[in-house]
Amino acid sequence: MQKSGSSARRLFVMGTDTGVGKTVISLLLMQFFYRRGHDPFYVKLIQTGCASAYDTESDARFIYDHVPALKGKDPGDSVVYCLKNPKAPYFAARDEGVVIDPHILKESFEQRIGRRSPVILEGAGGLLVPVTADVLMISLVELLAADPVLVARAGLGTINHTLLSIEALRTRGMEPAGVVLVDSGKTPTPHEMIRENMEAVASVAKVRVAGVVGRIRDFLNPDDGCYGPLSELLDQN
Ligand SMILES: Nc1ncnc2c1ncn2[C@@H]1O[C@H](COP(=O)(O)OP(=O)(O)OP(=O)(O)O)[C@@H](O)[C@H]1O
Ligand SMILES: [Mg+2]
């Protein structure tokens, strides 16, 4: 794992589930690093549910559309595998007669990033989704020598999903850099519940719970408060 401060590192943005806010946290990380004068690079390792990296559903396109410094640059540079069906990568690949090869993925990833740093990697779905018949998303964290950052929902049910995800990382000898909660719903989760969820995760798992990112109205200009959990996460790691 890389542990060399906030500028020279690879962060693997993992989710407790699909749709928890990994892309939004990746976007905030990109904006955060640009604001600090770095030149971050985003990689979506395996995009499913898209015909190309330019689809409206493409996570890379979302990132490129909301980072002014990436205007005019090619989201295709950031996507290693792109698969049409909205399924776990192994099955989406199998539908197209493709076998994802983790070593090709690593090679292609290293080629794309070159000497760029920091790198924000986004997987697909949760930690234990299959990438091949016998490789799970979580194994790519180690393969790509990245630090996992765990993104979780802020509301009811998150304690269980978050603790299970941390256990899955630790079982494989990996330590999350921290947990970021996302409260994206139209009705905000009550503060007391968020506090209790953070308390439970921090005290049971002895992990840094960096904070909660609330609902963002303008992805091009998120409120300054959205970056608080990221400095909490990165400045002390
Ligand atoms: N803080 C937020 N404020 C407003 N909307 C949000 C926020 N976080 C996430 N969303 C919305 O919730 C949906 C899911 O978020 P996102 O795409 O980041 O999840 P994901 O974990 O990357 O999903 P996937 O597994 O498909 O990659 C998106 O429509 C996104 O715009
Ligand atoms: Mg995403």
Q: Please write the tens of the pLDDT for every residue from 81-94.
A: 999 999 999 999 99
46 CA to middle of ligand 1, Å?
Answer: 16
pLDDT band at 235, cuts 50/70/90?
confident
Atom of ligand 1 nearest to the CA of 18: 25
Q: Take residue 63 and report the two structure tokens written for it.
A: 């990132």
> Is the Cβ–Cβ distance between 174 and 142 less than 8 Å?
yes
Question: Ligand 1 — pocket residues by CB below 6 A?
Answer: 15, 18-24, 59, 124-125, 182, 184, 213, 215-216
Tell me which residues have their CB within 5 A of the ion that is ligand 2.
Answer: 22-23, 59
> Is the Cβ–Cβ distance between 41 and 29 less than 8 Å?
no
ω into 118 cis (within 30 of 0): yes
22 CA to middle of ligand 1, Å?
Answer: 6
Of all protein residues, the one whose alpha carbon is nearest to atom 29 of ligand 1 is 19
Atom of ligand 1 nearest to the CA of 126: 25
Of all protein residues, the one whose alpha carbon is nearest to atom 18 of ligand 1 is 21
Check: pTM over 0.75? Answer yes or no.
yes
Q: Take residue 32 and report the two structure tokens written for it.
A: 């955060």
Q: Please write the tens of the pLDDT for every residue from 16-41.
A: 999 999 999 999 999 999 999 999 99
Residues designated as active site: 44
Q: Please write the tens of the pLDDT for every residue from 215-234.
A: 999 999 999 999 999 999 99
Q: Please write the tens of the pLDDT for every residue from 125-164.
A: 999 999 999 999 999 999 999 999 999 999 999 999 999 9
Cβ neighbours of residue 128 closer than 8 Å, sequence gap 6 or more: 136, 137, 138, 168
CA distances from 50 to 13, 74, 89, 92, 142 (A): 20, 16, 12, 10, 26
Of all protein residues, the one whose alpha carbon is nearest to atom 31 of ligand 1 is 24
15 CA to middle of ligand 2, Å?
Answer: 9
For residue 126, give the ligand nearest its CA. 1
Q: What is the pLDDT of residue 4?
A: 41
Best probe residue, ligand 1, of 23, 48, 183 (max atoms within 8 Å of C-beta): 23
Indicate the SS3 state at residue 236: coil
Of all protein residues, the one whose alpha carbon is nearest to atom 23 of ligand 1 is 19
